[in-house]
Amino acid sequence: MVAAAADGELSCAVVAGDVRRLMALHDAGTLPDPRDGQIARLKAENDTLRDRIARQNATVEKLTAFKTLALSRIAAQHEEITRLRSTQPDPDAPPIARLTAVPGPGQTIDSSSRRTRESRAGRELLGERPGDAPCGVSPRPG
């Protein structure tokens, strides 16, 4: 390791220490080849990059599936809107039923007076007779 001194020149102590360490390793016959360290570092970096690529591929697959689902839903909605907007009904489709209000339990619509049984029962409880004007309304003069 080489370090720079505060004035920009190399520190002699650091350089001398590195030289002594390398000389000792060389004398012992265990001088590491710098290429071995570089190979190990590059292999570790490759493994990291492969993992990163695998995660990105998984994300791309999920997003592609989501996109396909979203597009199919949009296409189905478009077809439904087009079908509903069409002026001529599809001959194969079942007829569209007209919805009408359905009276609740205990209610039936009296076709002659358009009053429900419940409203009649309520007026009878107030003491009105059929033919009397509703509560608070005076009868029309004659």
Please tell me which residue, 74 or 121, carries the higher pLDDT value.
Answer: 74
Q: Are 103 and 109 in contact (CB under 8 A)?
A: yes
Going by pLDDT thresholds of 50, 70 and 90, the confidence category of residue 99 is: low
Question: Which pLDDT score, from 0 to 100, does residue 29 have?
Answer: 72
Dihedral in degrees, nearest 10, Cα atoms 85, 87, 88, 90: 10
Per-residue HEC secondary structure of the chain comes to CCCECCCCCECHHHHHHHHHHHHHHHHHCCCCCHHHHHHHHHHHHHHHHHHHHHHHHHHHHHHHHHHHHHHHHHHHHHHHHHHHHCCCCCCCCCCCCCCCCCCCCCCCECCCCCCEHHHHHHHHHCCCCECECCCCCCCCCC
Please tell me the distance from the alpha carbon of residue 127 to that of residue 134, in angstroms, as a whole number.
11
Going by pLDDT thresholds of 50, 70 and 90, the confidence category of residue 25 is: confident
Question: Which pLDDT score, from 0 to 100, does residue 11 have?
Answer: 63
Can you give the residue ranges of every domain in the chain? 33-85
Please tell me which residue, 40 or 14, carries the higher pLDDT value.
Answer: 40
107, 109, 141 from 101: Cα distances, Å:
12, 11, 36
Please tell me which residue, 88 or 53, carries the higher pLDDT value.
Answer: 53
Mean pLDDT of the chain: 74
Please tell me the distance from the alpha carbon of residue 142 to that of residue 138, in angstroms, as a whole number.
12
Rounded percentage of the chain residues whose pLDDT exceeds 70: 50
